Structure 1
Amino acid sequence: METNQLHRGRLIDHLQLVVADLAASQRFYGAVLAVLNVPIGGTGPGYFWADELFVSSADSEAAQGKLTGRHHLAFQADGTAMVDAFYQAALANGGTDNGAPGYRPYHPGYYGAFVLDPDGNNIEAVFHGAATRSAPSVTVTF
């Protein structure tokens, strides 16, 4: 039997999206991340970044000329009101509805909203409810 330590929080170091219209994506992500209290960290020729999310145009050096495919990203929210605000900001800044805010059957207390960003990526804000918050790591035995 093998025991593994699972860590919660920083499974992914960073993620890059290569988009067709950088200005539209910056407007969209700037608005939705602002309501999630995540500032845009910086910009440069052909890119911008916020926390672990790096967004670039296809002609940027990091993109190598290729758009990324459709992805699903879920951002953590501090409560249901923040999820609601994310959804409204997304729709007002180039996003389209892909699932209005509400409770989902994934686990008790799961409250999320889904939108498509300007490139068709499925972007979610989720609040897991106070009852599901737990310690930063768990031990799993196989």
Structure 2
Amino acid sequence: METNELHRGRLIDHVQLVVRDLTASQAFYSAVFDVLEVPMGGTGDGYFWADELFVSTADNEAAQGELTGRHHLAFQARDRAMVEAFHKAAIANGGRDNGGPGERSYHPGYYAAFVMDPDGNNIEAVFHGEARRSAPSVKVAF
């Protein structure tokens, strides 16, 4: 995989998950990303990637022979319907329910669903509501 763009202002450059069963993970994430309208970036021997998420087997050179531990990843959704479709697709493709679609108390308008992926990672889709979507970003200097 070759990267040609540098994106400033992002906290995370990329995340790698090292999984036990690449086929199961690829089926799960392909279905989830299809619903979230995130194109798969590519595949290779022992890995696949989409946007800034790289998923590989422990045999992949970058994994250094170790599985990653349990993680929580939250993906942005355009609206509540996309959160609901995410949950449905994830469950139908090897995920386990970890909190169905609904309002959460994190802030007004926080609508999310949670599933456990085939390796036990807590995967979330979240829509922050119209009020948060239209609010301008604020940069704070420390």
TM above 0.5, yes or no, is yes
- Map 1:1-142 onto structure 2 (within 5 A): 10-133=10-133, 134-135=135-136, 137-140=137-140
Equivalence for 1:5: none
Which consecutive residues of structure 1, in runs of 5 or more, have no partner in the other structure?
1-7
**TM-score, normalised by the number of residues in structure 2:** 0.90
Pair 107,9 (structure 1): closer, same or farther in 2 beyond 3 Å: farther
CA distance in 2, matches of 1:43, 1:65: 19
Let me know the Cα RMSD of the aligned residues: 1.4
Pair 74,99 (structure 1): closer, same or farther in 2 beyond 3 Å: same
Cα offset, 1:130, TM superposition: 0.8
CA distance in 1, matches of 2:108, 2:130: 10
CA distance in 2, matches of 1:128, 1:73: 15
Q: Which amino acid in the other structure matches residue 19 of structure 1?
A: V
Identity %: 76
The runs of at least 4 aligned residues of structure 1 exceeding 3 Å deviation read: none
CA distance in 2, matches of 1:10, 1:66: 27
Cα offset, 1:61, TM superposition: 1.0
SS across alignment from 1:100 = coil
* Greater per-residue strand proportion: 1
Deviations 1:21-75 (A, max 9, x none): 0000000000001000001110000000000000000111111100000000000
Cα offset, 1:128, TM superposition: 0.1
Which consecutive residues of structure 2, in runs of 5 or more, have no partner in the other structure?
1-7
Alignment: residue pair count = 134
Cα offset, 1:9, TM superposition: 6.3
Q: Which has the higher contact order (CA 8 A, sep 6+)?
A: 1
Cα offset, 1:141, TM superposition: 5.9
Q: Which amino acid in the other structure matches residue 131 of structure 1?
A: A
SS across alignment from 2:98 = strand
